Structure 1
């Protein structure tokens, strides 16, 4: 994370200037080497940990008065626990290698105005008894700030830490994801992937972003952007690079001549029409041992209303046989192929993308997966979701 957060936030800067050993780990503000007394009346050091509420690269007032603590439960100088701050005890995994054994609660009447007030309040409560036994100890240790790792994001992702799922989110951090096709569904897939910490997002599409695309894609294109008629990959990279640093745009249609562009990825979303090119892409992914999700959306206008089916088909190294038994069409359409219909609306494109993203996260262990289905369909009429090809 950039050190700008400390220079732009007066409360964080004050903490460092006063000698507190402060670090940022993911969505956590960590105060290291806080002295405390354990139950054996020994002076030890632990770490105070708070979630961070941010507006860009500037802190907001803390969103909770609770902190976590990595160490044994702090005690008074006589070895009795400081029960006034007791909240919870357990094994807390807070993400980015940050763990804790306890959480504490000490809430002022008006809450904490900033992180300097919050962190120093807890540091004083915990370290006070230690100073009784060893007057020279202090949480103000004046350590040199560490060089902090660069994030894949241009600003901190704080949503995961607020709800305690940072460790789960980290399961996606090593991913290199390809999105093949940036039409209605593929663009929504990008919207969701770009909000995860994957290391790389490769975009593949040779089409131009035109007016009809703007009405079934996330965000809102300006009239000036539409007049420029950019390539889809360039337009979407410009939008999502505001958040995510790892986006690479390839304005090509993947086929046998360039399918090597997929080498090095760890997962793929295939959001393109059926045909020979899709078969080539899938064969390449299977050769590379890469898991993927293929999506399909087919709607028909009958008797004045739309009806149809959304499809999500997953393929992993552990299960691929169903792909070549008709679950994915390579025919390129036809009168009997529902998915060849080009009727698309943004809400169903988004839903198809959501189902694909959920399946990806299931495969990576982010979501619980009891059935381990590799093929699912959603039918608009009847609101019916079916799972098949379970492993």
Structure 2
């Protein structure tokens, strides 16, 4: 059983949200890094473990008042053994390993000696152990807020999404679990799209870009690459995969441009974001996506310099689905056009970021993460007015 499955249990979520290092292994719950005192009056850190009472995947109230402690013999602040809570020494099989533990027993005075939930059980033992350690150093605490590793093979992240659980929206994130997302173009807007998508539990993220990451890209992409990194001139898709694979498990890379010869690489994807400024290549891609009934969002930015020497323009987000595609010719430029200031690499990272955010919000609306009063298929934002218009 893995930590993400504790979401239905409010007592376990409370432990996690308060900063305890919670892990569930082999039907046991473990809190790590509990401060305690050993016989030499030294502050050490150990682990508390107790079996979970489960029924059909649901976590019930604790069936026992006991807990196991992994560490040295827990003592008082003056080095005396805590005989009042240590019942005996035992070995516990956890994660297929025999672990020496101290068997702790401290019954509550209410409910016939039974704890109301796992929060009460574990925090009770934490308080007993930590009280002695805090008598020596009042600053020690079991609430470390340490990142929690994800030990499940079925979840998309390398560590647990505690943000969703703290906000109680994990059930909404579940809507993305089986999606395989493609991002074509990892320039300014595309790189910000990846930054946002990588924070969702989609099954897979496929990156497509044949360009190198050069110095001008650093000024319209997330993060702050070093000069040494820029000198490497890595492929954009490969570089982004290296960065975001620290967080998301399933990122694949195509470090070449999409052509008629390799367009089949997008087949089987659930949804695609297109963020490229080559209109002729875009037409080839869009025609293929339509033939495969793959929904997508195309984004674009157009800016120009006024006589007053400032910038005006619009950002565009166009959603296309198998049921709504008659607006493509009117909304998405598919023929070669005159260069504007954006194509000359004016650095406008805030517009890239905003364009990406609107695109991802639109995607989340499509899958009912966000409420949408009326389905829109083309949004344009007037930069100088900061107004968003629904054109379709």
Give the secondary-structure state (helix, strand or coil) at the position aligned to 2:304: strand
Give the secondary-structure state (helix, strand or coil) at the position aligned to 2:51: coil
Trace 1:307-346 onto structure 2 (pairs within 5 A): 307-324=312-329, 326-334=330-338, 342-346=345-349
Contact persistence 1:332–1:340 (CA under 8 A): no
Deviation by residue 1:211-256 (Cα, 9 ceiling, x = unmatched):
1111110011122211111100111111101000111111111121
Contact persistence 1:298–1:343 (CA under 8 A): no
Distance 1:323 1:215 in 2: 31
Contact persistence 2:32–2:48 (CA under 8 A): no
- 1:116 matched to 2:122: yes
Distance 1:273 1:283 in 2: 16
Instruction: Tell me which residue corresponds to 1:248.
Output: 252
Question: Which structure has the greater CA radius of gyration?
Answer: 2
CA drift at 1:384: 1.6
Distance 2:242 2:196 in 1: 16
Deviation by residue 1:23-76 (Cα, 9 ceiling, x = unmatched):
9x9xxxx8445469xxxxxxxxxxxxxxxxxxxxxxxxxxxxxxxxxxxxxx97
Unpaired segments of 5 or more residues in structure 2?
Answer: 5-21, 25-29, 35-45, 65-109, 128-150
Give the secondary-structure state (helix, strand or coil) at the position aligned to 2:390: strand
Give the secondary-structure state (helix, strand or coil) at the position aligned to 2:327: helix
TM-score by length of 1: 0.66
Distance 2:284 2:229 in 1: 33
Trace 1:204-215 onto structure 2 (pairs within 5 A): 204-215=208-219
CA drift at 1:20: 3.6
TM-score by length of 2: 0.66
Distance 1:250 1:2 in 2: 33
Instruction: Tell me which residue corresponds to 2:161.
Output: 157
Unpaired segments of 5 or more residues in structure 1?
Answer: 37-74, 78-84, 86-103, 107-111, 122-146
CA drift at 1:161: 1.1
Contact persistence 2:3–2:160 (CA under 8 A): no
CA drift at 1:260: 0.4
Q: Where has structure 1 moved over 6 Å in runs of 4 or more?
A: 118-121
Instruction: Tell me which residue corresponds to 2:15.
Output: none
Q: 1:260 to 1:115 in 2, by over 3 A?
A: farther
CA drift at 1:116: 2.1
- 1:175 matched to 2:207: no
Distance 1:341 1:211 in 2: 14
Trace 1:89-168 onto structure 2 (pairs within 5 A): 116-117=122-123, 148-168=152-172
Contact persistence 1:273–1:332 (CA under 8 A): no
Q: 1:257 to 1:118 in 2, by over 3 A?
A: farther
From 187, 202, 224, the equivalent of 1:220 is 224
From 200, 205, 230, the equivalent of 1:201 is 205
Instruction: Tell me which residue corresponds to 1:136.
Output: none
CA drift at 1:338: 8.5
Distance 2:222 2:180 in 1: 22
Instruction: Tell me which residue corresponds to 1:359.
Output: 362
Contact persistence 2:299–2:359 (CA under 8 A): yes
CA drift at 1:158: 1.0
From 233, 244, 260, the equivalent of 2:237 is 233
Q: 1:229 to 1:264 in 2, by over 3 A?
A: same
Q: 1:150 to 1:331 in 2, by over 3 A?
A: same
Contact persistence 2:216–2:345 (CA under 8 A): no
